[in-house]
Amino acid sequence: MKRLLLLIATLAAGVAVSTPALADLQLATAKNCMACHAVATKLVGPSYKDVAAKYAGQKDAVDKLSVKILKGGSGVWGPVPMPANAQVSAEEATKLAAWVMAQK
């Protein structure tokens, strides 16, 4: 019985940990971010893992990325500009930026 309870607790903890990451991937998909970006591979724009690596250790990385998500940007990753994302709220941009920074 103890093993069964331990197994249930472990599975529940795993779901609790993976759900926010999945939810943010779902948000990125819903906001069309995944049309140009992927988690691990370069598409039109850089992979989220590459972005996280580039901004690693910068205390204001989430703020910088939130602004880029909202307003767009150019020149950091090559000649293709990132357009502004009017369909993304400031709160969603912060959530997406934090999720991107969590990719490793």
CATH number (domain holding residue 73): 1.10.760.10
Residue 92's Cβ-side half-sphere holds a number of Cα atoms within 13 Å equal to 17
**Residues ≥6 apart with Cβ < 8 Å to 58:** 64
pLDDT at 104: 86
Local structure of residue 82 (DSSP, 8 states): B
- Residue 102's closest CA among 28, 4, 15, 10? 28
Domain of 81, in residue numbers: 2-101
How many domains does the chain contain in total? 1
Predicted local confidence at residue 23, as pLDDT: 72
Q: Write out the chain's pLDDT in tens, 104 residues.
A: 545 444 454 444 444 444 455 679 999 999 999 999 999 999 999 999 999 999 999 999 999 999 999 999 999 999 999 999 999 999 999 999 999 999 98
Residue 39 backbone phi and psi in degrees, to 5: -65, -45
Predicted local confidence at residue 12, as pLDDT = 46
